[in-house]
Chain A
Amino acid sequence: MLYRENGQFKSTYVSDQQMLPILQDRVLMALLLAFAFGVVPFVISDYVFLSLLIPFLILTLAAIGLNLLVGYCGQISIGHAAFMAVGAYAAYNLALRIPQLNFIVVLVLAGLIAAMVGMLFGIPSLRIKGLYLAVATLAAQFFMDWLFARVKWFTNYSSSGSVSTAPIELLGWKVDTPAEKYVFLLGVLVVFTLIAKNLVRGHIGREWMAMRDMDVAAEVIGIRPVYAKLTAFAVSSFYVGVAGALWGFVHLGSWEPLAFNLNVSLNLLFMIIIGGMGSLLGSYFGAAFIVALPILLNQVPAWIGVPVSTAMASHLEFMIFGALIVFFLIVEPHGLARLWAIGKEKLRLWPFPH
C-alpha cells in the first residue's frame, strides 16, 4: 500500500529465520513497543489502566497459555482456570512462608508448580481425546475449586477463606500505582510472548501441531505422544499459572476461591476462539475483545442516550456476548487473527483488488 515489502533478500540462514523478516514489520514492532512502554504510562487515566489494560495483559498471558494447548496441540481444556488458581495460591503461599524470595522467583516457582499439576491432569489426554477430554478437564476445575476452599493450609487458615496480598516489590521498586503495574505486566508479557513464539517455531511446536493435525500419523513417524502432550500441558499450565499469580497479586489484591471458577475457564476459551486458535496474535485480540466487551456494553446505552436499567444491561451483555460468539464462529471460524491477516493482505495490494 504505502510501501513495498518485497525486495528484501536474505543471505544467511540466521537472517532468514528471524521472527520478523521484513524491515517494516521490525520498525512497526519497535514503534509499538516504544509507544507501549514510553508513552502509554504517562497519558492514560488510572481507570483505563485498572479496568482495561491490566486485565488485558494478564488475560493475554493466560490466553497464550491456553492457545498453546488448544490451538497448537489440539487438546481441549475447559478447566484451565483451575491452573490459574494453582498458580495464584502457590504464589501466595510462597510469598507468605518464604518472604525473602524475590517476586520474580515466586512467579517462576508458582508457574512450575502449576506446570506439574497441569501435567498430572494432562495424563488422561493420553487415553481420551476430543470432547471426552474437554469434559474430563472439568474434573480439574471443580476439584481445584473444592481443594482451595477446603484445605485450610492453602489459605493460611483464614476464617473467611479469602486471602489478601501486599503490593509486590521488586528489588526496592514498589509496584503499586496502576501505571507501574502496567509497565511490569507489559514487561512480563513481552518476555513470555517471545518464549512462546520461539517454542512454537521450534521442534516442540511442530510436534504439538503434528499431534493436533493427525495424532496417529504423528505417532507413526516417531513423535512420542506422551512427550508432546504432556509438555503441551506443562508449558500451557506454566503460563496460565503465572497469569493466575499475577491476576491475584497485581489485579485483585485479595481473592476467594470463587475468583477462579468455571466462568473464567469459559472466558479463556472464548478468548482464543474469537481471537484465533493456533495464533499468538489471536490471543492478544481475543483477550482485548473479551475484556472490552462488558465495559463497552455498559457504556454504549449511556452514549446513545437510551436509559437501560442495570439488570437489563447485564442481560443484554449475556445475550450480545452469546450472539457475538455464534456470529464470529459462523463468519470467521479462525478468529480475529485471520481477519487481521486478510486485512493485511488486502492492504498490500490496495487499491488494486488482486
Chain B
Amino acid sequence: MKLNMQSKLLAAALAASAAAVTLGSPAAQAQAKEQFFPVLSYRTGAYAPNGIPFANGYVDYLKLVNARDGGINGIKIAFEECETGYATDRGVECYERLKGKGPTGATAFHPLSTGITFALTDKSFVDKIPIITTGYGRADSVDGTVFGWNFPLGGTYWDAADMLVQYVGNKEGGLDKLKGKKIALVYHDSPYGKEPIALLQERAKMHGYELLLLPVTHPGVEQKATWLQIRQQRPDYVFLWGWGVMNSTSIKEAVATGYPREKMYGVWWSGAEPDVVPAGEGAKGYNALVFFAPAGMGQVHKDMVKYVYDKGQGSGKKEEIGEVLYNRGLGAAMLTVEAVKRAQIKYGKKPLTGEQVRWGFENLAIDDAAIKKLGFTGYMTPVSTTCVNHAGEAQARIQTWDGKKWVVQPGVIHADNSIIKPMIRSSAEKYAAEKKLPKRDCAKEAG
C-alpha cells in the first residue's frame, strides 16, 4: 500500500479534529428540576460478572422510582453511568466528570470498589459529596466525626471478618476452642482483600488460632500455587475474600485439590451466583455471608417487573432479577433515595446538593415498617445512622449453596463492637492526624 499524500492527509485531519473536538467543553447540561445520580459501574473486564448485576439492580431501582412514584416527591431522578473497569484512576476520572452534573451536582457516589473509595475519600472533603460504600470501603469510615462523607452502610470488612470468626467459633463449640486451629485467608491482593487482615490478626491474638495469609494477584485466575499451599498446610477453615473471576477460580481450584467446600466461608462479596455457577456441582456446600439481602423475589421485584421490565425498560435480563448482587444493587439505590427523601423533609422538595443529602444519610431511620412500605420485606434489614455512626448496626447471616440456589441458614450474627470500636477509633484518629483534619463536632452541627 503506497503511502500516498491522501492517507497522510487523512491521518493529519483525524489528529487535528480529535484535538479540536476534545478541548471544546461538553454541551451544557439540562437545568431541569432533577436529582442527578451518578452511577460508577464496571460492565467490562475481569470484574464484570459481578459488576453487571449490581449495576443493573441499582439503575433499575432508579428507573422504578421514576416510573412508579414519579420521582422523589415529584423530583425526577436523572442518572448517568460511567465505566470504571474497577480501576482506581478511571474511577477518579469518572468522579471528576460526574460530580458537577445536574442542577445541584451529584447526589452521592457508590464506587463499588474499595480502591476507588480510598482515592475518593480524600476528595470528598473538598467536594462535599457523600461516598456510600454499602458493605465495603474503609473499615474505619464508620466514624463520622473523622470521615464526614463516607457511609459504609450495613457493615464493613472488620464486621464481616468478625462475624465469620464468631460463626466458625460457634461451630467448634465456643471461641476458645479455636485455639490451635488454622484459618487461611485467600484474599484479593488489593485494598479490598487486605482490609480484614487487621481484625483477623487481632482475633488470632485473642483466641490463639493461626492465621495463614494467601494473597491472589489481580485478576485472580492463577491460584494453583495458592491451593497447593493450602493442601500443604491443611487449614481448618478457608475464608475467601475475592471478587470477580477470582471467586469462581478459587472454588474450582478447591475442587481440584480436594479441599472440602463446606469448610470454605466467603465474605458477602464472594457469595453470589456468578461465583458458584461456573464451578458447577463442585460448589455444593460452599458458604458465604449475606448482609442486607439474600436472593429471591419480593414485593419490590413484582413492582419492578410491572413498571420497568414489562415496559421494556429493564437494564438486564428478566431472569436475573432477584439474584444476590442484583438485590444488593436495589438495596443500595433504595438507601440513597431514602436519604434524599429524608433530606427533603429538612431542606424542601427540590433538587438537593450533596451536603444536604449528607444530612439525610446521617439521619436515616429505616425500620421494619418502612421496609414493608417500600416492598423490601425480607430483602433489607433496618438501617439507622447518626453523625457519629455512619454504618448502622452490622448484622449478617450465613447462606450455603446447595447446587441450585442459596439456602440461608437460620441465626443472625452480630459484629462484636467491643473489639471493633477501639480499632475504628485508633485508625480514624491516625487518619485525621495524617491529613491534619479537623474533627467534626456532631452535637454542634445537629443543634
Contacts and interface: CB of A to CB of B under 8 A. Distances in A.
A–B: direct contact at CB < 8 Å: yes
Interface of A: 45, 47-48, 50-52, 149, 159-162, 164, 166, 252-256, 258-259, 285, 288-289, 292-293, 295-296, 299-300, 302-303, 309-311, 313-315, 327-328, 330-332, 336, 339, 342-343
Interface string B70-88: 0000000000011101011
B30 interface: no
Nearest to B39: A310
B92 A252 contact: yes
Contact of A332 (B1, B8, B44): B8
Contact of A161 (B3, B8, B194, B434): B194
Size band of the interface chain B makes with A = 35 or more
Contact of A159 (B83, B97, B195): B195
Given A311-B83, A314-B85, A292 B115 contact: no
Contacts of A259: 88-89
B43 interface: yes
Contacts of A51: 93, 96-97
Contacts of A293: 18
Nearest to A309: B43
B191 A254 contact: no
A332 B3 contact: yes
B119 A253 contact: yes
Contact of B123 (A253, A336, A343): A253
B197 interface: yes
Most chain-A CB neighbours within 10 Å: which of B22, B41, B85, B190?
B22
A278 to B, nearest CB: 18
Contacts of B195: 159-160
Nearest to A311: B43
B345 interface: no
A296 B25 CA distance: 11
Contacts of A256: 88, 115, 118, 190-191
B11 interface: yes
Nearest to B315: A309
Nearest to B195: A160
Interface of B: 1, 3, 7-8, 10-12, 15, 18-19, 21-23, 25-27, 41, 43-44, 48, 52, 81-83, 85, 87-89, 92-93, 96-97, 100, 114-115, 118-119, 122-123, 138, 189-191, 194-195, 197-198, 215, 218, 434-436
A310 B194 contact: no
A159 to B, nearest CB: 5
B18 A296 contact: yes
Nearest to A149: B189
Given A47-B96, A332-B8, A299 B22 contact: yes
Contacts of A288: 19
A323 to B, nearest CB: 12
A292 B17 CA distance: 11
Contact of B190 (A161, A315, A339): A161
Contacts of A309: 43, 81
A331 B25 contact: no
A258 B218 contact: yes
A123 B178 CA distance: 52
**A149, A254, A285 — which one has the most chain B CB atoms within 10 A of its CB?**
A254
B435 A166 contact: yes
A252 B11 contact: no
Contact of B15 (A47, A252, A339): A339
Contacts of B435: 164, 166
A254 B122 contact: yes
B3 A331 contact: yes
A302 B189 CA distance: 36
